[in-house]
Amino acid sequence: MIVPRVISPAVTAIGLIAAVCTTVSFVPQLIRVWRLRSAREISLTMFLVFSLGTFLWLLYGILIRSLPVILANAVTLALSLAILALKLRFDRK
């Protein structure tokens, strides 16, 4: 039997702060790729696997109804997919 648990606002705040930290960490990479118009140093395989993992974390967050997990992974997935799109665009040249 699964017992529903109540998560305190403090625990949710910790999750949200952690989510912001890990998600924002992708912004400098995205800016760098955009400015240099190059993503050759970024591993395509790593970002594909990472994006899949992030999508699965997002799905998990939705299924367990965890706002920090949903928000962090939705934004991280968007940033990761943006970096992937730029990699494919710029590396074609």
Q: Note the pTM of the prediction, 2 decimals.
A: 0.80
pLDDT tens-digit series, residues 21-59:
988 998 999 999 999 999 888 899 999 999 999 999 999
Sorted by where each begins, the domain ranges of the chain are 40-93
Contacts 24+ apart (CB under 8 A), 41-46: 42/83, 42/87, 44/84, 44/87, 44/88
What pLDDT was estimated at residue 3? 57
Q: Can you tell me whether residue 3 is helix, strand or coil?
A: coil
Return the CATH number of the domain spanning residue range 40-93.
1.20.1280.290
- pLDDT bracket for residue 8 (50, 70, 90): confident
